[in-house]
Structure 1
């Protein structure tokens, strides 16, 4: 055989969870992130593991991607952080990507 086979001990990479924040909607970006994390983790949104405060200031996160003073959207840039082993990437276009921890 000429194909590559990963070692038996190597686990598959976890699936990537995707969510989108609507900057014109009623929820703040940090609220959308917390709800996306809860969905990804399969827990209630009030679960204590979902606190962003240990990793990122929710108010700063909300301000970072809010529209410019002239009203134009901030579509560039990304912010990445980890919450309870979940790698979270927030993009300026509103996309939220969450990679769960690898299974052992």
Structure 2
């Protein structure tokens, strides 16, 4: 396992942010998505989606959320970057 994994999520894409996070963690941990605990057990996924969704004045340009999930530290930045590393 590498020390971290970074992926860029396109906030204007149809893929929900929560799906991109689970996919990134599964890739980092070399596990199937179905082997992971549901993300909503760890964080309010609806609130997370609303926090970073495009707004009337455009996409959010700053801020981040950091939380632990599946033994990993996950950082989601307003620019769409998802960073996964060991907790």
Q: What SS is found at the alignment partner of 2:34?
A: coil
Query: So what's the TM-score if we normalise by structure 2?
Result: 0.89
Contiguous gaps of at least 5 residues in structure 2: none
Deviation track 1:43-76 (CA, whole Å, cap 9, x = no partner) reads 11111x3421222111111111011223x11021
Q: What SS is found at the alignment partner of 2:33?
A: coil
Query: So what's the TM-score if we normalise by structure 1?
Result: 0.76
User: Contact 1:37–1:50 at 8 Å: present in 2 too?
Assistant: no
Which of 39, 43, 47 is the equivalent residue of 1:56?
Answer: 43
Contiguous gaps of at least 5 residues in structure 1: 1-13
Q: Which has the higher helix share?
A: 2
Q: Which has the higher strand share?
A: 2
User: Contact 1:34–1:50 at 8 Å: present in 2 too?
Assistant: no
The aligned length equals: 86
Output the CA distance in 1 between the equivalents of 2:47 and 2:34: 21
